[in-house]
Homo-oligomer: A and B are copies of this chain.
Amino acid sequence: PGKSMSKLIVLAKKTKKLGQDDPRRIIHSLKVGLAITLVSLFYYFEPLYDGFGVSAMWAVLTVVVVFEFSVGGTLSRGLNRGLATFLAAGLGFGAHHLANLSGKLGEPILLGLFVFLLASTVTFVRFFPRMKARYDYGLLIFILTFCLISVSGYRDDEVWHMAHMRVSTILIGGFTAVCVCILIFPVWAGTDLHNLVANNIDKLANFLEGFGPLYFQIPQDGEMDMTFLEGYKCVLNSKQTEESLANFAGWEPGHGEFRFRHPWKQYLKIGSLTRNCAYRIEALNGYLNTETKIPEEIRGKMQDACINMSSEAVKALKELAFSIQTMTKPCSANSHITKSKIAAKNLKSLLSASLCKETEILDLIPAVAVASLLVDVVACTEKIEESVQE
């Protein structure tokens, strides 16, 4: 019992942490509960239930399947579902009618052929990367609805009735989901993307800020916060997240400071430059863990230049992150980058002038090399940043 007790406590702690990390998760859960309850009760009460019949469960199904964490996700799935159902219903009705005309024997053969052709083709279309990104769910629903309607054993007028019921219940379900999603504490994928890109730049800055003192083993006041060493790691694998957020953001209407057609692709560009920078930082991080220590005399010489250079880069990165966050023009980032470049040059000449004894050059250079790369990347980021402001 003691063991299961401690497991329970661990679980409770995990749950609490999950909720604290992002309280919107709790709100989202409650929102889903609310939307489903609304639709369920709507469906439960007899008068409506009699009117819609079994298709009413499509309303519940729609809410469950369509409701996503972000507004963009919900809209994307809802529109996909609505549009696909509508198109497929029309096509399915046509196929059904055509098969009906061909008599008792030809009907199943023709229907089978239609279903096979359509399902195969649409499944193949789902492999196109562009279709997959935006319309994957819609294509799935398209196959589904087409099969259900074309193969249904009903007579033509029954099919009309069924299609009508289905479309209206799906509309009710989708409408409920979208309303609850947008009206109660909406989570905008666009805002998330905006913050993610800014935070990622910030994380790189945090690493660089801590890197200098740690590499040169400068004693710090008080305990040092080592979390910055791990922070940038998630930037390395942020590609998929950014892409799906940008995709969802494209479905969202204007909100807050974002217009409807906000240039979300710019964020992807900045994100990919940030990732490039993060790869360099990952390489830099490798040098923190190696045991080889720098000879004392050289350390003193290069320490100032290095720290100066990285602190200017940190200032530039932080300002860029801040300016993305607040959507203002970065005013002093450029001068920080220039200063950082000057520091890099100083370091270069320092190195080639004085480091020609039998020291292990390999121990010193990497930091410089990567940092100078970093400066380039920062300059790149700034270019993109400016284009966002336009």
The reply to whether A283 and B33 contact each other, CB–CB distance below 8 Å, is no
Query: Which B residue's beta carbon lies closest to that of A278?
Result: B279
Q: How large is the interface on A (under 10, 10 to 19, 20 to 34, 35 or more residues)?
A: 35 or more
User: B residues within 8 A CB of A83?
Assistant: none
CB of A191 closer than 8 Å to a CB of B:
no
Is A108 within 8 A of B41, CB to CB?
yes
* Chain multiplicity (copies): 2
Q: Which of B30, B46, B65, B117 contacts A33 (CB 8 A)?
A: B117
Chain B residues contacting A153 (CB-CB under 8 Å) are 44, 46, 49
A241 — nearest CB in chain B belongs to which residue?
Answer: B240
What 0/1 pattern do residues 341 to 373 of A give for CB contact below 8 A with B? 000000010011101101111100110111011
A384 at the B interface (CB under 8 A): no
Question: CB distance A362 to B365 under 8 Å?
Answer: yes
Q: Which of A56-64, A193-201, A217-225, A310-318 contacts B (4 or more CB under 8 A)?
A: A56-64
At the interface, is chain A mostly helix, strand, loop or mixed? Answer: helix
**Of the candidates B15, B30, B54, which one forms a contact with A120 in the assembled complex, judged by CB atoms under 8 Å apart?**
B30
A151–B40 alpha-carbon span in the complex (Å)? 6
Within 8 A of B (CB), among A131-160: 140, 143-144, 147-148, 151-153
- Please state if B362 and A151 are interface contacts (CB–CB under 8 Å): no
Interface string of A200-228 (1 = CB under 8 A from B): 00000000000000000000000000000
Cβ A43 vs Cβ B151 within 8 A? yes
Which candidate, A21-29, A182-190, A328-336, is the interface stretch facing chain B? A21-29
